[in-house]
Amino acid sequence: MEAFLEKIGEFGRYQKRMFILLSLPTIIVSMQKLAWVFLGARIDHRCRLPWEAENATFPLPANVKNVTLPWDEKRNNYEQCYVWSDITEEPLQRHNDSMKLMCLDYVYDKSVYATSAVIDYELVCDRAWLRATVQSLYMVGMLIGSYLFGDLSDRFGRKPIFLSALVIMVVVGVGHAVIPDYYSFTTLRLILGASLQGVFLVSYVMAMELVGKKRRVLVGVLAQAFYTLGYFMAAFLAWSIESWRWLQIAMTLPALLFIPYYWIIPESSRWLITKGRTEEARVILEQAAKVNKKEVTEELMLQALEMSKSGKDGGKGNVLDLFRYPNLRRKTLNLFFNWFVNSGVYYGLSLNTGNLGGNDYINFVISGAVELPAHALTILLLDRIGRRLPLCAFLVLGGLALLSTMFIPKDLGWLLVTLAMFGKLCITASYAIIYVLTAEIFPTVVRNVGVGSSSMVARIGGALAPYINLLGDAWKPLPLLIFGSLAFAAGILSLLLPETLGRRLPETIEDGENFGRDSVGRDDAVINGDAEQLQALTEDSAKTPLEEKPRPQMNEEHKIIPEEEPIAMNRVNNSV
């Protein structure tokens, strides 16, 4: 297949057309993945006083607040969740904590957000944790969707599963926008996360299966532009539409435009070949060559159609093999911690833009925009400096930037936003690097299970991020300090991982155990080095074929993934 793509063009006119069409759903996925910042916007609130009407406005005269609302020393402001039990014109000092009562009803500040799921479902005070649960369960849905739709598309084909996930996404996306019950809303939000993941996963893999190996890095970088465009579109729609329910519907209905893809986009030729449907694959490949204005010989076509029907076998090991031997176990735990931190901090910062102060919409746009230079730096550094040092540098610098926010005065809000966005840039870059490093450290026989297990640990970090952000209610800088501490610790620990640039990838469990153990050894061998040099280093090196280091490609979280032909869906189930 690769020889065929080289002949007709690895990213020719045909692939470019299909790539653009298949990347458009990423905009919908990106919008909905992080739009909870606006859908569930945190809104200032206070207790509704006994004599106030249901449509009472938020501001209160100072003299009224002094005798009705307790003072919160930690926030240096009036309490949001309590009111004095006996309201008189006496001064504050006669009250004590025993005279506080929890609010029975609330008045919200609607000067910025006219509506919010927080208002409709009363996700404040003792119910504030339910707001974090919404996004946490959405992340769980993403994990379920990765495996569910990935497996189904490998079994039944890319197109029917893409259409199925798309229809589910539209129905659930609109349905959970109008449902009045919180628990039903949260359940549908979980299903939405799963279906959105299926939409992206299938469309992304279909796009990557059209492209030759040498151009997959380029295509991965270009795919980031669509993800960032979704950031910008979400901010624009949120700014334009007051109602959070109509905002959710507005982000969902454009997905109907992708239903005709079932008839417009061809099935994956690689998948058809693996299923023995070679005649259907031939028609698609001939069409690709025709559009690219290339002629191919019958011999080359037959070679493409005789591609291995199973691809490389990555299922020779299991998760227990990652922990059987001490060196491999240490590296596995280190990588797991890095994945947990990178995912948790990435989503924590992405969802925390509304708590930084300043304009929520501008903060959100900046948060998306910083991902572009982050990935450009990643691509630039990976093959020049290596993996380990850039990973450490990005994590440590990002961690220090976030930790320094505790020293920023309140009147320097712009500096707080700058440091938080620099932290986001760093964590975006480190997230991409850790994917490459993980795929290269785990030996071939457990590479699939190693990357998949790391992905599951990452989902735990992403699911916990909303709860960490909730700690900002106790002390506003606390979430950034936690994220910064985790990033800094992960950066230091990453120095214990071996460098993989220019080294032969481990294949067996024994290779994986020895990889990075000694300063000089088989793991120091250059991938394209001299076989005689390898034999001088180790006795058995001559028996082990030299493996060419694969060029990286990017997944929907903009993480770089190893290449395989055809691209197995369980290799991109990490998306974040």
Residues 46-105 pLDDT 10s: 999 988 898 899 999 998 988 899 988 877 889 999 998 877 655 545 556 668 899 999
Is the model more confident about 97 or about 482? 482
Return the minimum-mean-pLDDT range out of 82-96, 122-136, 380-394.
82-96
Residues 294 and 351 in one domain: no
Q: pLDDT value at position 487?
A: 98
The residues, any chain, with a CB within 8 Å of residue 537's CB and separated by 6 or more, are: 520, 521, 522, 524, 525
* Residue 555 · residue 574 · CB < 8 Å: yes
Residues 188 and 134 in one domain: yes
Quick one: pLDDT band at residue 186, thresholds 50, 70, 90? very high
Helices within 275-314 (DSSP H only):
278-291, 298-305
Residues 56 and 154 in one domain: no
Q: Which of 2-6, 146-150, 357-361, 467-471 has the highest mean pLDDT?
A: 467-471
Q: pLDDT value at position 176?
A: 93
Q: Is the pLDDT of residue 554 over 60?
A: no
Residues 93 and 188 in one domain: no
Q: pLDDT value at position 524?
A: 42
Of 512, 515, 516, 506, which Cα lies nearest the Cα of 544? 506
Alpha carbon of residue 111 to chain centroid: 31
Residues 28 and 73 in one domain: no
Helix-helix angle 244-252:158-178, to 10 degrees = 170
Tell me the two tokens of residue 409. 């005065």
Q: Is the pLDDT of residue 547 over 60?
A: no
Residues 354 and 481 in one domain: yes
Helices within 357-444 (DSSP H only):
360-369, 371-382, 388-403, 413-441
Confirm whether 14 is domain-assigned: yes
Return the minimum-mean-pLDDT range out of 187-196, 232-241, 317-326.
317-326
Q: Is the pLDDT of residue 346 over 60?
A: yes
Residues 164 and 105 in one domain: no
Q: Is the pLDDT of residue 537 over 50?
A: no
CA angle 262, 263, 269 (to 5 degrees): 75
Across 234-257, average pLDDT: 96
Confirm whether 567 is domain-assigned: no
Confirm whether 205 is domain-assigned: yes
Q: Is the pLDDT of residue 24 over 80?
A: yes
Helices within 292-370 (DSSP H only):
298-305, 326-351, 360-369
Separation in Å, CA 163 to CA 199, 285, 321, 575: 8, 23, 37, 19
Q: pLDDT value at position 97?
A: 67
Confirm whether 345 is domain-assigned: yes
Helix-helix angle 13-34:158-178, to 10 degrees = 30
Q: pLDDT value at position 456?
A: 82
3-state secondary structure of 548: coil
86 CB burial (10 A radius; 0-12, 13-18, 19+): exposed
Q: pLDDT value at position 375?
A: 84
Residues 443 and 352 in one domain: yes
Residues 140 and 240 in one domain: yes
Residue-wise pLDDT for 92-124, tens only, equals 455 566 688 999 999 999 999 999 999 999 999
Q: Is the pLDDT of residue 414 over 90?
A: no
Q: How many domains does the chain have?
A: 4
Q: pLDDT value at position 309?
A: 47
3-state secondary structure of 127: helix
Confirm whether 555 is domain-assigned: no
- pTM of this prediction? 0.80
3-state secondary structure of 193: helix
Cis peptide before 566 (omega within 30 of 0): yes
The CA distance from 210 to 15, in Å, is: 6
* Residue 445 · residue 507 · CB < 8 Å: yes
Instruction: Give the CATH number, domain containing residue 14.
Output: 1.20.1250.20
Q: pLDDT value at position 316?
A: 56
Q: pLDDT value at position 507?
A: 80
What is the residue range of 72's domain? Answer: 45-109
The CA distance from 307 to 286, in Å, is: 16
Residues 300 and 407 in one domain: no
Please identify which residue in the block is written with the tokens 């990033």: 487
Q: pLDDT value at position 116?
A: 94
The mean pLDDT of the chain is 83
Residues 150 and 282 in one domain: yes
Last residue of a domain, one of 287, 310, 333: 310
* Residue 200 · residue 26 · CB < 8 Å: yes
Q: Is 121 left (phi over 0), alpha (psi -120 to 50) or beta?
A: alpha
Residues 232 and 291 in one domain: yes
The CA distance from 15 to 488, in Å, is: 41
Helix-helix angle 128-156:158-178, to 10 degrees = 160
Last residue of a domain, one of 295, 310, 325: 310
Return the minimum-mean-pLDDT range out of 480-484, 508-512, 569-573.
569-573
Tell me the CB-side half-sphere exposure of residue 231, using CA atoms within 13 A: 22
Last residue of a domain, one of 289, 310, 331: 310
560, containing H or E segment: strand 560-561
| Residues paired with 108 in a beta bridge | 45
User: How many residues are there in the chain?
Assistant: 576
Confirm whether 227 is domain-assigned: yes
Is the model more confident about 143 or about 97? 143
| Exposed e or buried b per residue across 381-407, where buried means at least 16 C-beta atoms within 10 angstroms of its C-beta | bbeeebbbebbbbbbbbbbbbbbbbee
The residues, any chain, with a CB within 8 Å of residue 268's CB and separated by 6 or more, are: 157, 158, 205, 206, 209, 566
CA angle 563, 566, 567 (to 5 degrees): 50
Confirm whether 23 is domain-assigned: yes
* Residue 336 · residue 322 · CB < 8 Å: no
The residues, any chain, with a CB within 8 Å of residue 162's CB and separated by 6 or more, are: 153, 198, 199, 202, 203, 206, 261, 262
Alpha carbon of residue 567 to chain centroid: 20
Tell me the two tokens of residue 530. 């001299």
Please identify which residue in the block is written with the tokens 């003072």: 71
Confirm whether 383 is domain-assigned: yes
Q: pLDDT value at position 525?
A: 40
Cis peptide before 266 (omega within 30 of 0): no
